[in-house]
């Protein structure tokens, strides 16, 4: 007899997941799929979209659920899977205003322990009518230096026309990541493709047929709030995603495709697919949907207000602080990037000041800068403009490079050690080492940047390097042509493993199928590694 994987769904939960996958396959064939809150309101509330946890610390975390109707959310936590002794956390009344999603904050949790939880939805008119509990588990961050930390990162989900393919088992990389049982998952942006239309089938160059699960919201670019919500619901149709969410907490940031490709504040679209041309209007709707469907602490009510910002620090014990950056909401317009004075840059002046303060105050051994875009890789936007930091000129910093130079200079002069940049975005995996000996700008300490993705999207060739900060591509694995399907090119994710005794940090770049492509060990407190 096989034993259940720690943190795996209960038998009833596994039955629900199997039924939901069947419903997803029905969607691809024109069926109705999972129930919408507009239907099936008889009986008890249901939570068919699974559970999620996010922004977990040593003593707190957020739990997410979606109901099929108005309901009161209740979360019970326990130290054991049997739930012999429970602590109850009363959550919000879930309604149409949040698309029947809700998030409950858990506080006062024990550090470094596995927490079992179950979510129940109660009928607000008759509390005796409750849903079947939906179970999940996660580990809280440690509070001792000798306890290690291990997490995964990737991004780029359901992009370039490649959605949930039931013929290959859906988003298979999620199941591989779940089996590794990390402490958490860092989603480095493009968590949905709101501008990515999905067709029922695509013929590949070799004649094979790729089949997509389809929904009405994925038949056009997202513009309305409900269409953005539908893009987040789409990913939750995948049974691998729901099983992963029930076991592994996430730290999620956004990039462009949560709104629209290569967007920036103030942009007016010249795109016939959109009736709403004002990107600021689209971004506000997308941010609301993101906050409804993703357990992010800064996008939920605090003290009667809403912070409404993406950038934050997730403190994961004495060994690790994760600085979640927002390189999208405060940037200036995409341009040739040749300006000699640029105070807005890609972070905005206020976020840059915040980042400097938080880095200087951090006492963590390792400080991960979770960036939704790479630093030294040239990412074009059309023929003349640039989408990321680098703009193809290997000389002194210009444009958005000026702000990154200011940050790197600050890190060096304040003697801040243990910084590490992680990102996705470019749809391949690579390792770049930056050092002033190779750079046009030299007032910084050497550092590493690791790229991993996509998780469920098209693969692309490697981008060119910009020499301003002296990057050397130590490793790269990329597609030989643009937009290779997941049937033609492996999906990628990265792993970070911090040893609690030595403090050494190991980065592994992984390919779907279990292969470790590249590994690098970094020692704490050192520069020039």
For the chain, the domains span 11-139, 149-522
More confidently predicted of 187 and 128 = 187
The pLDDT score that the predictor gives to residue 117 is: 98
pLDDT surpassing 60 at residue 205: yes
The first and second tokens of residue 32, run together, are 């109705």
pLDDT band at 2 (very low <50, low <70, confident <90, very high): very low
The pLDDT score that the predictor gives to residue 298 is: 85
The first and second tokens of residue 363, run together, are 């006492």
The pLDDT score that the predictor gives to residue 308 is: 79
Question: pLDDT per residue over 215-246, tens digit each?
Answer: 999 999 999 999 999 999 999 999 999 999 99
d(CA 490, CA 186): 19
Strand-pair category, 250-253 with 184-188 = parallel
Question: pLDDT per residue over 130-165, tens digit each?
Answer: 999 999 999 999 999 889 999 999 999 999 999 999
Yes or no: say if 137 and 117 are a contact pair by the CB < 8 Å rule. yes
Q: Looking up tokens 């709403």, which residue turns up?
A: 276
Question: pLDDT per residue over 488-499, tens digit each?
Answer: 999 999 999 999
pLDDT band at 307 (very low <50, low <70, confident <90, very high): low
- Residue 57, CA atoms < 13 Å, CB-side half-sphere: 15
User: Which residue in 481, 31, 52, 435 sits closest to 243, CA to CA?
Assistant: 52
Task: Pick left, alpha or beta for residue 486 (phi over 0 → left; psi -120 to 50 → alpha; otherwise beta).
Answer: alpha
What is the mean pLDDT of the segment spanning 410-422?
97
Question: pLDDT per residue over 377-414, tens digit each?
Answer: 999 999 999 999 999 999 999 999 999 999 999 999 99
User: Which residue in 406, 401, 301, 314 sits closest to 358, CA to CA?
Assistant: 314
The pLDDT score that the predictor gives to residue 15 is: 36
What is the mean pLDDT of the segment spanning 246-271?
98
d(CA 174, CA 127): 36
What is the mean pLDDT of the segment spanning 68-94?
95
What is the mean pLDDT of the segment spanning 258-277?
98
Residue 392 burial by CB count (10 A; 0-12/13-18/19+): exposed, middle or buried? middle
Q: Looking up tokens 């469920």, which residue turns up?
A: 456
d(CA 379, CA 36): 39
pTM strictly above 0.75: yes
The pLDDT score that the predictor gives to residue 458 is: 98
Strand-pair category, 149-154 with 492-498 = antiparallel
The pLDDT score that the predictor gives to residue 525 is: 82
pLDDT band at 41 (very low <50, low <70, confident <90, very high): low
pLDDT surpassing 90 at residue 66: yes
The pLDDT score that the predictor gives to residue 127 is: 86
Yes or no: say if 504 and 149 are a contact pair by the CB < 8 Å rule. no
pLDDT surpassing 70 at residue 16: no
% pLDDT > 70, the chain: 90
Query: Mean of the per-residue pLDDT values for the chain?
Result: 91
Yes or no: say if 64 and 102 are a contact pair by the CB < 8 Å rule. yes
pLDDT surpassing 50 at residue 477: yes
What is the mean pLDDT of the segment spanning 326-343?
96
Q: Looking up tokens 């990037």, which residue turns up?
A: 337
The reply to whether 11-139 and 149-522 are identical in fold is no
pLDDT surpassing 80 at residue 22: no
Give 11-139's CATH code, choosing from 3.90.1150.10, 3.40.640.10, 1.10.3720.10, 2.60.40.380.
Answer: 2.60.40.380
Distance of CA 113 to the CA centre of its chain: 24
Yes or no: say if 367 and 411 are a contact pair by the CB < 8 Å rule. no
Give the domain 149-522 fold. Purple Acid Phosphatase; chain A, domain 2 (3.60.21)
pLDDT surpassing 60 at residue 303: no
What is the mean pLDDT of the segment spanning 469-488?
97
Question: pLDDT per residue over 355-384, tens digit each?
Answer: 999 999 999 999 999 999 999 999 999 999
% pLDDT > 90, the chain: 88
């Amino acid at each position: 007899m096989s034993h259940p994987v720690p943190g795996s769904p209960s038998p009833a939960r596994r039955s629900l997941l199997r039924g939901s996958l069947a419903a997803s396959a029905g969607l691809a064939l024109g069926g109705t799929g999972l129930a919408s809150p507009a239907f099936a309101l008889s009986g008890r509330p249901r939570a068919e979209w699974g559970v999620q946890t996010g922004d977990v610390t040593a003593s707190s975390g957020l739990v997410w659920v979606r109901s099929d109707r108005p309901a009161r959310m209740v979360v019970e936590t326990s130290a054991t899977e049997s739930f012999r002794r429970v602590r109850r956390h009363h959550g919000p009344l879930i309604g149409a205003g949040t698309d029947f999603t809700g998030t409950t904050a858990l506080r006062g949790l024990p550090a470094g322990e596995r927490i079992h939880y179950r979510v129940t939805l109660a009928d607000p008119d008759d509390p005796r009518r409750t849903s079947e509990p939906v179970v999940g588990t996660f580990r809280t961050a440690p509070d001792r230096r000798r306890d290690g930390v291990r997490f995964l990162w990737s991004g780029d989900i359901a992009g370039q026309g490649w959605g949930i393919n039931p013929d290959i088992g859906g988003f298979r990389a999620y199941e591989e990541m779940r089996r590794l049982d990390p402490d958490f998952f860092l989603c480095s942006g493009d968590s949905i493709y709101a501008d990515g239309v999905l067709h029922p089938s695509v013929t590949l160059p070799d004649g094979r047929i790729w089949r997509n699960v389809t929904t009405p919201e994925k038949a056009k670019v997202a513009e309305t709030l409900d269409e953005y919500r539908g893009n987040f619901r789409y990913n939750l149709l995948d049974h691998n995603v729901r099983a992963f969410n029930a076991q592994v907490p996430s730290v999620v940031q956004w990039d462009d495709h949560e709104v629209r490709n290569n967007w920036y504040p103030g942009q007016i679209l010249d795109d016939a697919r959109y009736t709403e041309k004002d990107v600021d209007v689209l971004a506000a709707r997308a941010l609301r949907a993101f906050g409804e469907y993703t357990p992010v602490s800064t996008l939920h009510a605090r003290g009667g207000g809403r912070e409404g910002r993406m950038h934050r620090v997730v403190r994961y014990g004495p060994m690790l602080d994760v600085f979640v950056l927002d390189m999208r909401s405060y940037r200036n317009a995409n341009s040739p990037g040749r300006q000699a004075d640029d105070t807005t840059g890609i972070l905005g002046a206020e976020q840059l000041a915040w980042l400097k303060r938080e880095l200087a105050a951090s006492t963590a051994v390792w400080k991960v800068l979770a960036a939704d875009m790479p630093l030294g890789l040239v990412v074009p936007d059309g023929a003349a403009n640039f989408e990321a930091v680098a703009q193809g000129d290997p000389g002194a910093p210009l444009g958005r490079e000026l702000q990154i130079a200011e940050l790197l200079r600050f890190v060096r002069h304040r003697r801040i050690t243990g910084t590490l940049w992680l990102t996705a975005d470019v749809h391949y995996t690579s390792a770049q080492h930056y050092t002033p000996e190779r750079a046009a700008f030299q007032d910084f300490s050497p550092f590493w940047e690791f790229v991993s993705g996509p998780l469920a999207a098209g693969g692309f060739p490697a981008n060119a390097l910009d020499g301003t900060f002296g990057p050397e591509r130590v490793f790269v694995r990329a597609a030989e042509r643009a937009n290779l399907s997941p049937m033609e090119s492996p999906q990628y994710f990265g792993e970070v493993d911090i040893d609690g005794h030595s403090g050494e940090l190991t980065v592994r770049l992984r390919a779907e199928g279990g292969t470790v492509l590249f590994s690098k060990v970094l020692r704490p407190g050192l520069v020039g590694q």
